[in-house]
Amino acid sequence: MKKRVGVLFGGRSVEHEVSVITGMQVIENIDKTKYDVVPIYISKEGKWLTGSSLMNFKNFKEDNLKDAKEIIMTPVFRDNKYYTHPEAIGFLGKKLMETVDVIFIALHGTNGEDGTIQGLFELIDIPYTGGGVLASSVGMDKVTMKDVFKAHGLPIVDHIWFFRKKWFENKEEIIKEVEEKLGYPVFVKPANLGSSVGITKAKNRETLMDSIEIAIRYDRKIIIEKSVENPREVNCAVMGYDDNIRASLCEEPVGWKELLTYEDKYINSNTKGSKGSSRNIPADIPEETTKLIQDTAQKAFMAIDCRGNARIDFLLDKEGKVFVNEINTLPGSVAYYLWEPMGISFKDLISELIDISLAAHKEKNENMYSYDVDLFKRIEFGGSKAKKI
């Protein structure tokens, strides 16, 4: 019997459009012999919608989603099925109901990759793909992520961080700390965004101030990193659950610049992943460097207790030293291009991620969540306080 997979995409995030593209890729490539798809689109305003029009990317380009019905995800569990509840009333006044067995999360960035949506599905008790609440939130916050990596002995670049409020209260203190601890040039980033949004490079005090003013528009928490000069970027994906994980091939973007813009990543890039395209797969690096990156990627994956499929991004300096830059717990296009050259098709990748989510959900439900005790019988209320047990 086919499982019904709710493919969740869109979201209230600056990465909304990227998420729609990922969602469409999943819907197009999912194994139709094994799964029925229920598209679930979160608009930029935060409305949850479903409907057949959401299966066609052309309708997003033309803003033609008229038949989409608003739904509410609720913790309703009946007959071993989970339900989404449309607000619209269907034929003969009956409330339309749609069942799903598992959620495939194709969201990116804020409100999708940061643990918030994962928390909702934990409460509803429905299987979902990708990292759990902890892995998602740690992987999203660059400051916490680097703290965890550092605690596990993984190589990271020097950095400082601060809250937006501190910038308004004492700019000179922050500037002094940057100049004394890091020096120029540096990269200024919102701590909780992806796709290069809000990230700029500062080469002096004037551009540092401008960069911080940009970053604080997007997040209350700002991280400033020492620049690795003339670096090479190499990325590697990791897939699995617990310690049963494996690393993909490594990729190196061709013509990579120190900072790829949003347009560089999603408009100007060719994602075929072959020699001569926008990325070299496998990366043209020594075998020992490849092995080091793959091993480090797996350690980073396990350090945040991730599961599913994540992409870990690395920087190599001119001496060949490797630094972990960040982990993307829900990578764009599901990072399928790193697995296809290894013989894992996009279709098989999607199926494996669904299987991982079901296994993780099954194990979670083996935990004990209640403890029977006659506590109520041992407490009496009278007046304003309960008597001691």
Q: Is 187 known to sit in a ligand binding site?
A: yes
Q: Which of 13, 136, 137, 333 is catalytic?
A: 333
Q: Is 227 known to sit in a ligand binding site?
A: yes
SS (H, E, C) 291-352: HHHHHHHHHHHHHCCCCEEEEEEEEECCCCCEEEEEEECCCHHHHHHHCHHHCCCHHHHHHH
Residue-wise DSSP of 154-223: -----EEEEEHHHHHH-HHHHHHHHHHHT-SSEEEEETT--TTTT-EEE-SHHHHHHHHHHHTTT-SEEE
CA dist., res. 103 & res. 122, Å (int): 11
Q: How many C-alpha atoms does 178 have within 13 Å on its Cβ side? A: 29
Residue-wise DSSP of 43-73: -TT--EEESGGGG-HHHHHTT--TT-EEEEE
Q: Which of 195, 211, 278, 357 is catalytic?
A: 195
Q: Is 149 known to sit in a ligand binding site?
A: no
Q: Is 325 known to sit in a ligand binding site?
A: yes
Q: Is 150 known to sit in a ligand binding site?
A: no
Q: Which of 15, 113, 251, 252 is catalytic?
A: 15
Contact 332, 273 (CB under 8 A): no
Question: What are the tokens at 82?
Answer: 């989970």
Q: Is 274 known to sit in a ligand binding site?
A: no
Q: Is 230 known to sit in a ligand binding site?
A: yes
Q: Assign residue 289 a region: left if phi > 0, alpha if psi is -120 to 50, beta otherwise?
A: alpha
For CA atoms 74, 307, 253, 24, give the dihedral sign.
negative
Our answer to whether residue 333 is catalytic in this structure is: yes
Q: Is 113 known to sit in a ligand binding site?
A: no
Q: Is 188 known to sit in a ligand binding site?
A: yes
Q: Is 142 known to sit in a ligand binding site?
A: yes
Q: Is 39 known to sit in a ligand binding site?
A: no
Give the residues across from 312 on adjacent strands.
236, 327
Our answer to whether residue 345 is catalytic in this structure is: no
The edge-to-edge listing of strands for the beta sheet with 35-42 is 98-100, 81-86, 69-78, 48-50, 35-42, 3-10, 102-105
Q: Is 232 known to sit in a ligand binding site?
A: yes
Helix locations, 14-132, DSSP H: 16-29, 57-61, 116-124
The single-letter DSSP state of residue 93 is G
Q: Is 196 known to sit in a ligand binding site?
A: yes
The catalytic site residues sit at: 15, 195, 333
Annotated binding site for ATP: 142, 187-189, 195-196, 225-233, 325-326
Annotated binding site for Mg(2+): 313, 326, 328
Annotated binding site: 142, 187-189, 195-196, 225-233, 313, 325-326, 328
